[in-house]
Structure 1
Amino acid sequence: MASRNDGKQGNGLMERLLATFRTEADEHLGSMSSGLMALEQTPRGAASKTLIETIFRDAHSLKGAARAVNLESIEAVCQSLESVFAAIKAERLAVTPSLLNVLHESLDVIRQLLAMDSMSQGRRPPLVASMTRRLDEALQDMSTDMHTVPEPIVMHAVADPPAVLPSLAPETVRVSVAKLDTVMHHVEELLAPRLAAGQRAQELRETATMFATWRKQRVRLQPVLRLIERAALADSRQAQQAVGHQDQERYIATDSASGKRRELPRLLEYLDSEQLHMKVLEDRLAQLCRAAEHDQRTLANMADSLLHDCKEMQLLPFSSLLEGFPRFVRELAREQGKNAELVLQGGEIEIDRRILDAIKDPLIHLLRNSIDHGFAKPAERVAKGKSPQGRIIVAVSQKDSGKVEVLLADDGGGIDTASVKAAAGRLGTLSAQDAERVDEQEALMLIFKSGISTSPIITDVSGHGLGLAIVREKVERLGGSVAIESRRDEGTTFRIVLPLMLANVHGVIVRVGEQLFVIPVIHVARVARVVRGDVRTVENRETIALDGEAISLIPLSDVLELKRSRTDDAPADAVLVVVVSMARTRMAFQVDEILGEHEVLVKPLGRQLARIRNVAGACVLGTGRVVLVLNASDLLKSAVKHATAPRLPADRVPGEKSAKTEKQSILVVEDSITSRSLLKGILETAGYRVSTAVDGVDGYTTLRTGNFDLVVSDVEMPRMDGFDLTAKLRADEHLMNLPVVLVTALGSREDRERGIDVGANAYIVKSSFDQSNLLEVIRRLV
């Protein structure tokens, strides 16, 4: 119910934002149209420069407002318009009648886009591509007369169609990804009846075996029955000879006993006839077993074949993901004044398309980190005896057990573990005593903790302390793992291990008490039986020695917070353990029984239970029993927390909210009505009190007369921009410590450096704006 209400509230907010945007867009279009008309009548000079500046600012504001409501088509046209007016401002492009005609036509295109619904705009209508191309051509060829409209392509009818049509159907057809996913889902569902058929065949075999055992026992009784029959006949003859005609009463009694003895042969005769019926039943059971096994093999072969074919259709080479990375690295490096080369290896290896889609953002973030954190400026690299050009290697290689490894290595400055420990200490993740005991590898793994960052300022590229935590979360959600190696002044290497497929999972089924669980095989290092005497206690923790390494041992029932069974508490000569390994972390979990390895289909638990600690999903065994599939990453984290459970302060009551959860006040300084409404809605939904200002002057006046915890400001604003506002705040003794977050479309290196110089705490570029990043930045700053 909560998620449905949230969705309704989100839809209502977007509808209000779109309505506000249309009103603002009409004002900007009217102003731009009037400006173009006046520009035609105004000679070159100061007046024309003022008009050009006004139109340029309107185009920029309209672009930012369109981006805020995800109208990419309008944003694309405004981007081209802005580029044209930037060239006119710089006097690199002359204002000609033909150019003015194109500019007027571009405004008409924007009006047409405003009249469309959001779904039609999202498909990028052809007129958008045509309009942006013509505007871009004006920049590429200054001398070309833009008045000439390109002729549309006309499809002419063929007077005489060919007499013979091709007889062969096309070798390939286009199928939507949604349909392919639907087919894949249905094929995966075949795993359940396949497992059920195997279970039924096994039950029939067990029944036939039980029946055959019973029949053999029955056959062994035949000699005993024959002895009983012969003894009964002998007793009957002796009784008849002993009976006299004079003793009537004795005769009657003997005759009665003789009648009962005569019933015994009938019983023996029936037991003999049972042998035939038992043989018929045994043959019938054997026939049913053979039929069930045949049906099970047929279903298994068909299901496996279909699943294999569907998996093949889902496979894509890694090169389809990597081909856009070289340009990304080059542009990001140039933007920061650095040189970087990207080397790609193993692009021919194929992997599940869904995994490729999910791993794209983590890889992009790691590339950003390599350039932003790892590489120094060319002069600094040369001074350290390195090549002025940094090098990043992305190598994909096939591993065993259906896994693939993605290695991302750079030759940058490496990771300063001392800075990482300091950042973890400031965040409260690592105490001063623990920092002294943590080794280099453990310190490196701290960078995957949320909020830990060594960057002095938060930008859209780095500094949030969220990126690597999200990278690890997304990789582990795919059933993979990530590890890191780094050497100071030599470079950093990330190793990401992923499954090739996302379909069914091979898992080890274990029993804890009366409950069964599945642990994915990809994270199971080994299964072992350990002698109880080999369990040692180190620093109040039970450990076992495997492969020359001491591994912590913890009952799985304790990690899952289940009541211990009697077998847990009772002494035993040996314990069963499952060693779970992920990213250099290994932990042994004690279980009551290991039932073997099985192939299962993991099903989500539904939206209401989308994220439960230690649980990745559920599956149905062949017996029809529903079993939980455990999340290996959560298991390791829970085991560590259980071993080192933190204690609440003496003056802290469990569940008591701290004072920091009280509503905090934020001032949003933004000249665009749409962007201002969007930011206000996001922050108020997150629980903050929000006030707004229309420019820097209004914002500074509001800050001087009110009490605020943080400022979120645009940069390009009339009267006073965001840079000047930040500098003014830092010069004010009463406001100098107020956190400032700049949210702007200016993404160049010079603009970022200027933001740092004036004292901004965070710099977020609108082109990569994400509300979760903004909220996390604010949470860290206040």
Structure 2
Amino acid sequence: MTRRTTDKKSDDLLERLRLTFQSEADEHLKSMSSGLLTLEQASSGESKSLIEAIFRSAHSLKGAAQAVNLEPIGSVCQPLESVLAALKAGRLEPKPALLNLLHESLDTIGHLVSTDAASLDQRLPLAAAAARRLDDALKGKSTNTEQPDEPVMKAPADTPYVAPNVTPETVRVSIAKLDTVMRHVEELLAPRLAASQRLLELNEAVSMLSAWKKQRARLQPALRVIEHSLQASSQSVVGEPDDHATANGATSRKQELSKLLEYLDSEQVQLKVIEDHLARLSRSTQHDQRVLTSMSDSLLRDCKEMQLLPFSSLLEGFPRFVRELAREQGKTVELSMQGGDIEIDRRILDAMKDPLIHLLRNSIDHGIATPAVRGAKGKPARGTIMVAISQKDSGKVEVVVADDGAGIDVPAVKAAASKLKNIALQDGGRMDEQEAMALVFKSGLSTSPIITDVSGRGLGLAIVREKVEKLGGSIAIESRRDAGTVFRIVLPLMLANFHGLIVREGGQLLVIPTIHVERVMRLDHSAIRTVENRETIPVNAQAVSLVGLGDVLEMPRSRTSEPPRSSTLAVVIEMAHVKVAFRVDEVLGEHEVLVKPLGRQLVRVRNVAGASVLGTGQVVPVLNVSDLLKSAMKQVFTPRAAGASPDGDKGEVTEKRSILVVEDSITSRSLLKGILETAGYQVSTAVDGMDGFTTLKTGKFDLVVSDVEMPRMDGFDLTAKLRADKQLSDLPVVLVTALGSREHRERGIDVGANAYIVKSQFDQSNLLDAVRRLV
């Protein structure tokens, strides 16, 4: 029994050690990956120290893996350490092929580290293959032939690398626990708001008592006059026998009045005692409320500071990402990063990871050209991308993503915008360059000549701006043709407490996030103008659509007739450069509120982001500004012509657009035909390029979906033949193929394909998205 208990304790200890090992391994892998990237561009003088640092990390990682019985990881770390030792001794040179192998080995170790210990044995072939490749590289390139049977290099036995034994000043806390504490601290807002409401009600009670006391005090003189009158009346009838009854009545009334005055005098004292007691309660409640506010604010601030992480934790993976994407596209790119030590809220970092990755991808895909193209323009073959973080003020940080690429082609942006139904170029397209460049943030706009898995869908920059503005930030763009593009993102250092504007509409209280409220306006009816059958109001010399908040939310109208108002109260909301004014009945003011989700039963309710409990205990809906603006724009721009379809996409599908699928594989042909027919398209098929071209000449089609590798005529030749035909030159072509190399993608662009979808990354949503954009 004792032995079983001991074994269980040993297993528990080993499990805890393995969790610690995962964190340590992640740090070593990040350090080695960063070191290898720096080594690629380091001078010979700097290489030695870099290789030494990478070698020590590999040595420490190997020892840590062996300590927790993770032999597959140790089996890769051993030859990795030997290769690094040979590099350190100068027996191997840091050539690109060898550095690529080292990167791949780190990826293998990363997969092994992330694998559950129970499933690690299944990864033994992966570890063995990585170790064999490292051994082969070591044997094939080693220049040391004097002692072939001994290890090429190993860490000196007398001077092993040992981390300094320092008492830790920090502890590791899981993010889930930290988030739980943060939610509990944020929950303190509810009792704080309730305390403020109780204080307000108590002060109102004190004011009511004081007003009542003043009114009562004004009765005292009148009662005294009545008392004196009765006293004089009773004295005037004394001694007159006939008036004894009258005198007795006056005396009785005087006695009753005296009792009343005596009670009122005593009540005055009691009122004073109650008033003093309420005043003391009000002062103590006010003090408690101030203390609660101070403590909750301080605790919330401390918890937010616990959430701060340096920007470097986000930037660590970017050099590798840029390197791999540039290599895939045959480009050479140098990534420069500055300001990584600036700390910011972890939740903001998490939210900004995808937007920054998209901006980097955008710079490589659209901005940086190939070395040959850059050389023809007199630029260095190596392109440059810079990510710089700087402190703006005490509460904001600026992130700059800049490249020295081709810049933004403004005429191409205008041309792409003119093709989209939801983007209208004002004044016949006569907009300045800054206004035109802002169009790149519109959803669906893309200047890419072809749709691929990397670009061309026109969604990326729209999502970037949406996420930035959702965090309370802003994004601006600067660009010069053939000089480069700069994106400037301003973010808060911490997520601010939620403030909402409480409004009343149709008898219902609603909360609008203050961050998106530009202003509140009260206008005379004469200021409302009708433009194209739509109400507008002037805001900063700009006509802004005016809609009723209740109408947008489809709230039932009150049946009681209200008197006409002399003015209109409007809340102007702006998000993602869309501005709409909402007519409301009443604005109750701005308050700090705690937003609660609606629960799993109501995960997604249109126009509603959640609910908030006010200090009075009343539950109030919190509006979703993004949905609200979409609903408002839909109401404003709903086609009024009879028979017009409010949903353009649905209208197109119901027209049964005709598509030809050209594919020699029966399975792939059936799959594509089924996907497109399910989406509402009319589909015909052809077995190869020659059959497809004949079918296109004899029928009418709106789009072609074609494979590339086919007998008789492949997809490239079919596309080129269509572009050379006068009748079919404008027919959109989507290539769906297994050929995913850069050369094949470029050939697809050269022959005139409109979209290029790789089968290994195939997703029916990608196909349907490309089809909807092209037909």
* Pairwise same-fold verdict (TM > 0.5): yes
Q: Distance in 1 between matches of 2:706 and 2:182?
A: 47
The 1:535/1:350 distance shift into structure 2, 3 A limit, reads farther
The 1:344/1:225 distance shift into structure 2, 3 A limit, reads farther
Task: Report the equivalent of 2:302.
Answer: 309
> Residue 714 of structure 2 aligns to a residue in which SS?
helix
Cα distance, 1:403 vs structure 2: 3.9
Q: Distance in 1 between matches of 2:293 and 2:318?
A: 41
The 1:584/1:387 distance shift into structure 2, 3 A limit, reads farther
1:741 to 728, 735, 738: 735
Aligned ranges for residues 493-512 of structure 1 at < 5 Å?
A: 493-502=486-495, 504-512=497-505
The 1:169/1:227 distance shift into structure 2, 3 A limit, reads farther
Task: Report the equivalent of 1:471.
Answer: 464
Q: Distance in 2 between matches of 1:302 and 1:723?
A: 76
Task: Report the equivalent of 2:639.
Answer: 647
1:367 to 353, 360, 363: 360
Residue 235 (str. 1) matches residue 226 (str. 2): no
Cα distance, 1:205 vs structure 2: 1.9
Residue 552 (str. 1) matches residue 544 (str. 2): yes
Residue 724 (str. 1) matches residue 714 (str. 2): yes
Deviates more, 1:517-526 or 1:701-710: 701-710
Cα distance, 1:602 vs structure 2: 2.4
Aligned ranges for residues 285-434 of structure 1 at < 5 Å?
A: 285-399=278-392, 402-430=395-423
The 1:685/1:238 distance shift into structure 2, 3 A limit, reads farther
Residue type matched to 2:734 in 1?
V
Alignment check: 8 A CA contact 1:712 1:743 kept: no
1:273 to 241, 266, 275: 266
Residue 174 (str. 1) matches residue 172 (str. 2): yes
Residue 130 (str. 1) matches residue 121 (str. 2): no
Alignment check: 8 A CA contact 1:618 1:627 kept: yes
Q: Distance in 2 between matches of 1:729 and 1:243?
A: 134
Aligned ranges for residues 70-219 of structure 1 at < 5 Å?
A: 127=124, 130-137=127-134, 140-141=137-138, 143=140, 171-219=169-217
Cα distance, 1:238 vs structure 2: 3.0
Residue type matched to 2:714 in 1?
D
Alignment check: 8 A CA contact 2:706 2:733 kept: no
> Residue 592 of structure 2 aligns to a residue in which SS?
strand
Give identity over the alignment, percent: 60
Alignment size in residue pairs: 634
Alignment check: 8 A CA contact 1:483 1:583 kept: no
The 1:388/1:664 distance shift into structure 2, 3 A limit, reads same
Deviates more, 1:354-363 or 1:389-398: 389-398
Task: Report the equivalent of 2:479.
Answer: 486
Task: Report the equivalent of 1:222.
Answer: 220
Q: Deviations over 1:478-514 (max 9, x none)?
A: 3444333333333333333334334631233344453
Q: Deviations over 1:538-573 (max 9, x none)?
A: 888644465xx546373663665666999995224x
Residue type matched to 1:464 in 2?
R
The 1:133/1:381 distance shift into structure 2, 3 A limit, reads closer
Residue type matched to 2:131 in 1?
R
The 1:441/1:317 distance shift into structure 2, 3 A limit, reads same
Cα distance, 1:457 vs structure 2: 1.2
Q: Deviations over 1:356-415 (max 9, x none)?
A: 222211221122222222233344434445444433332334446844333323333322
The 1:399/1:619 distance shift into structure 2, 3 A limit, reads farther
Q: Distance in 2 between matches of 1:722 and 1:481?
A: 54
Alignment check: 8 A CA contact 2:469 2:576 kept: no
TM-score, normalization by structure 1? 0.67
Residue type matched to 1:324 in 2?
G
Q: Distance in 1 between matches of 2:431 and 2:607?
A: 26
Cα distance, 1:265 vs structure 2: 1.5
> Residue 335 of structure 2 aligns to a residue in which SS?
strand
Deviates more, 1:256-265 or 1:563-572: 563-572
Residue 570 (str. 1) matches residue 568 (str. 2): no
Q: Distance in 2 between matches of 1:570 and 1:291?
A: 44
Alignment check: 8 A CA contact 1:669 1:699 kept: no
Cα distance, 1:274 vs structure 2: 0.9
Task: Report the equivalent of 2:3.
Answer: none
> Residue 272 of structure 2 aligns to a residue in which SS?
helix
Q: Distance in 1 between matches of 2:121 and 2:772?
A: 36
Q: Distance in 2 between matches of 1:659 and 1:639?
A: 23
Alignment check: 8 A CA contact 1:723 1:755 kept: no
Residue type matched to 1:238 in 2?
S
Q: Distance in 2 between matches of 1:252 and 1:582?
A: 87
TM-score, normalization by structure 2? 0.68
Q: Deviations over 1:676-703 (max 9, x none)?
A: 999899878867799999x989998999
Q: Distance in 1 between matches of 2:712 and 2:351?
A: 36
Q: Deviations over 1:132-167 (max 9, x none)?
A: 53254255346599xx9x9xxxxxxxxxxxxxxx9x
Alignment check: 8 A CA contact 2:397 2:493 kept: yes
Q: Distance in 2 between matches of 1:280 and 1:682?
A: 82
Residue type matched to 2:467 in 1?
K
- Structure 1 residue runs of 5 or longer lacking an equivalent are 1-72, 78-108, 151-165, 245-249
Q: Distance in 2 between matches of 1:366 and 1:503?
A: 25
Task: Report the equivalent of 1:15.
Answer: none
The 1:686/1:594 distance shift into structure 2, 3 A limit, reads same
Residue type matched to 2:639 in 1?
R
Q: Distance in 1 between matches of 2:500 and 2:248?
A: 72
Residue type matched to 1:266 in 2?
K
Cα distance, 1:283 vs structure 2: 2.6
The 1:634/1:479 distance shift into structure 2, 3 A limit, reads farther
Residue type matched to 1:469 in 2?
A
Q: Distance in 1 between matches of 2:325 and 2:197?
A: 57
Q: Deviations over 1:628-664 (max 9, x none)?
A: 3344555556666666x24244343668953614598
Q: Deviations over 1:588-633 (max 9, x none)?
A: 6565544333222223344565555554433222122233334455
Task: Report the equivalent of 1:284.
Answer: 277
Residue type matched to 1:740 in 2?
V
The 1:738/1:394 distance shift into structure 2, 3 A limit, reads closer
> Residue 356 of structure 1 aligns to a residue in which SS?
helix
Q: Deviations over 1:706-735 (max 9, x none)?
A: 9998777777x8xx5999355457659999
Q: Distance in 2 between matches of 1:210 and 1:583?
A: 48
Q: Distance in 2 between matches of 1:721 and 1:310?
A: 65
Residue type matched to 2:134 in 1?
E
The 1:432/1:534 distance shift into structure 2, 3 A limit, reads closer
> Residue 396 of structure 1 aligns to a residue in which SS?
strand
Cα distance, 1:777 vs structure 2: 1.9
> Residue 413 of structure 2 aligns to a residue in which SS?
helix
The 1:677/1:278 distance shift into structure 2, 3 A limit, reads farther
Cα distance, 1:753 vs structure 2: 1.7
The 1:391/1:617 distance shift into structure 2, 3 A limit, reads farther
